[in-house]
Amino acid sequence: MMLFYATYPVSISCLCYFLIIAKEFTDVFYRSKRLHTMSICQLRRDSVDLVSEQDYISNLPRNMKEEILMKLPIKEAVRTSLLSTKWKYAWMSIPNLVFIEDSSRSNLIRLVDQVLSLHRGRILQFKLVIRHVCNEAFNRWMLILSRNGIKNLHIEWGRVEKCCIMHVLPSFIGFKCLRTLKLLKFKLEGISVERLISSCPLLERLELCGIIEYDCLVIRSRNLKWLSIIGKFCDLCLETPNLCFAYINLECYLGDDDNFSLPSKNYKSNILRVLGSLSMIKKLGLYKVFLKYLAIGRIAEALPVPLYRLTEICIDFSLHFPNEVAAAFWLFKCAPKLKVLSSKLDIDHENAPPSALAQSFWEEKGIDSNLFNCLEIVNIYSFLYPKSILKFAKFVLSTAPMLEKLVISEKEIDSLPDADGKELKNKLTSFPRLSKMAKIEFV
């Protein structure tokens, strides 16, 4: 079970003191478990006797009690109320609550209801890993949390094989203090993702994992700084002007490539709808088939504002398709301060045999020779076909005046026959380099 740990530093003396207390606490706790058949009065008298000589536990400061309780599973934290009268209500004020369902649905629902109903003070962090759908209880919990000033919310569907469809009441008003939201393998109904996010005005960090969206996935948030999306969708629109870090993994494109269209008067390319407002972006990761989605329709000539802060790009694209290559190079052009480029080349699209490699693209005048003026590090961590890496590496080495190193994964080279692998290495190391500092490393 994942637990929340303290992040502030402690001195050696404090740590030793804490270890002594933890030992005393462990002795009392496990003795109380052995005596679970005794009456509550007997157990309390026994606990008092155990700490009568040196009553460290009962007299601990409130903040130290909270630290100990937050390191325990929620069930065990509640059971500490049996230790003494001073611990009876201590668990009711812990700000971090973690619930992980194992097998019994009814036990989890009852436990969450009891804890939330008895809890006093603010709930800053709430984590729920659940295996059974419980819409009525879910709506009840969300309502309680929205009134407690929650800042971090983590909800995870604990089954791998499918997503959980959760129905959220349309009357839900949102989380006014929420700063971190993490939804794993959930599909919301009754309220859209757009409305949920817009109802969290202070949201800074958003993670959507395993999401399925057949309509346009719209994310509007002025304060959002960190975004991660993993899932399947047919369209994406980001209106996040202060976003600094974005990682988008499109596992499957649910749209129609041939019939893709938007109203002609308001038509924007996919690139503009996704990247048009990201003027503050520093690091951008585009994975799986997301570049295929960006390449649909016309590629915009320029963004409203160049991505001057963007210094690192991680991207998967296939050199088999000129449209994808054009979209990737257009993105590089919009990031004039790009320093680090990590790429997985020739991702395995369907119906993309090696013979489809767009050889002529590299001879076209459309490729700007000033594309990588600030580029310092290039990482190529995967490729399927030797010809593709030779073309790409040759272009980078000949156009990047500040390049320090080109790092290539040796895994794919080792999978080639010895002669082919040796020939590939020789060609890579023999390419002319615009930068005198440039080195080729095989890792």
Quick one: pLDDT at residue 161?
Answer: 60
pLDDT in tens, the chain (443 residues): 333 334 434 444 444 444 445 545 555 455 545 544 445 555 455 555 544 445 566 677 777 877 777 777 777 877 777 777 777 777 788 888 888 877 655 578 888 888 888 888 788 899 988 877 777 788 888 888 888 889 999 988 866 566 667 777 777 788 999 999 998 887 776 677 888 898 899 999 999 998 888 888 899 999 999 999 998 888 899 999 999 999 999 988 777 654 444 433 345 678 888 888 999 999 999 998 898 888 887 676 667 788 999 999 999 988 777 788 888 888 998 899 999 999 888 665 554 444 444 455 555 544 566 789 999 999 988 777 777 788 888 889 988 999 999 998 877 777 777 777 888 888 888 999 999 999 999 88
Quick one: pLDDT at residue 301?
Answer: 61
In the block, tokens 């668990």 appear at: 91
Residues in Cβ contact with 150 at an 8 Å cutoff, skipping those fewer than 6 apart: 122, 123, 124, 125, 126, 175, 177, 178
Cα 429 to Cα 443: distance, rounded to the nearest angstrom:
14
Cα 237 to Cα 219: distance, rounded to the nearest angstrom:
6
Cα 368 to Cα 9: distance, rounded to the nearest angstrom:
50
Quick one: pLDDT at residue 194?
Answer: 85
Quick one: pLDDT at residue 388?
Answer: 73
Task: Please say whether the beta carbons of 332 and 294 come within 8 A.
Answer: no
CA angle 129, 212, 195 (to 5 degrees): 80
In the block, tokens 């809890």 appear at: 119
Quick one: pLDDT at residue 221?
Answer: 94
Quick one: pLDDT at residue 121?
Answer: 79
H/E stretch holding 215 reads strand 205-220
CB atoms within 10 A of CB 52: 9
DSSP 299: P
Longest dimension (CA), the chain: 87
CB atoms within 10 A of CB 15: 11
Task: Please say whether the beta carbons of 187 and 165 come within 8 A.
Answer: yes
Cα 384 to Cα 346: distance, rounded to the nearest angstrom:
6
C-alpha 201 chain-centroid distance: 20
Q: Give this prediction's pTM.
A: 0.77
Secondary structure of 377-390 in HEC code, one letter for each residue? EEEEEECCCHHHHH
Quick one: pLDDT at residue 157?
Answer: 80
252 three-class SS: strand
